[in-house]
Amino acid sequence: MPSQSGALLGPVVLTQPRIWSRATGRAVAVGTVIVALWAPTSVAQTGELEQGRRLYESLCGSCHGPLGNGGRGANLAQPQLRRATDDQALSNIIRRGIRGTEMPGSPLTPSQLASVAAYVKTLGRVAPEDIPGDRGRGEAVYAGLDCVRCHTMGSRGGIVGPPLDDIGARRSAAHLREALLAPEASVPRGFLQLRVVTRDGRVFNGIRVNEDGFSIQFRDLSGRVHSFWKDELELFEHQWRRSPMPSYDGRLNAAQTDDLVAYLVSLVGAP
């Protein structure tokens, strides 16, 4: 009998077993015997998913959300992931990370990697977020705030802030709401605002592009890049956890905030 946790792999057919016949004095065939093989795959799959869940919660959930519906990291609660289009691509991203983003690689063993990938695939069955607000009205709010001055949309806009073409595929509604109302609570990893005063009295505020022991390069809030030797500067201030984006808490009412979040969530880029 198979165990309750077993899974049928398939029958093995043993044809024409023989017994000795006294009447004929020789062996005769008596029929066909079918033996079914069973394997305990359900237990193995359950254990793999449980390991994947634990690893995901400890290593991934703080960025991607406990249910995978996004945060600082991409929204994984989708039937089809934009970057991980198949199992191999998903495993490669988990192992190697994504260059130029906040997604790091991981030192997981092959077994751990497989279990995390298997668990991530189950997140596509998570129910989508219920997002209040009207996308059309939110688009009008976006235009009224002149967000295009800092954010690129399509081929238009500034480059101080991140591009927003696919922001709805990369961030959850909760994270976007927080970014609007308390932007300094969700400053991207590696982002650094600077305040620079030169020896001749010029003052700059900008975003660090590159820095070494002797020089600094940064982009001011109009998008122009500057480069200075550090001995040319009277003041050079790292403003960690600061954001050039203003808070819209109090500038937008609750309905306007809901509408703007609904619009941003709808921006998922090209299929």
Question: Is residue 19 very low, low, confident or very high in pLDDT (cuts 50, 70, 90)?
Answer: very low
16 vs 54 pLDDT, higher one: 54
For 193-239, the fitting CATH number among 3.90.1170.30, 2.30.30.100, 3.40.50.10740, 3.40.50.1820 is 2.30.30.100
pLDDT of residue 248: 94
2 vs 134 pLDDT, higher one: 134
Question: Is residue 261 very low, low, confident or very high in pLDDT (cuts 50, 70, 90)?
Answer: very high
- CATH 1.10.760.10 matches 42-125: yes
- The topology under which CATH files domain 135-187+245-265 is Cytochrome Bc1 Complex; Chain D, domain 2 (1.10.760)
pLDDT of residue 154: 83
b/e for 169-179, b at 16 or more Cβ within 10 A? bbbbbebbbeb
pLDDT of residue 264: 94
Q: Are 135-187+245-265 and 193-239 the same fold in CATH? A: no
The full set of domain ranges for the chain reads: 7-39, 42-125, 135-187+245-265, 193-239
pLDDT exceeds 70 at position 165: yes
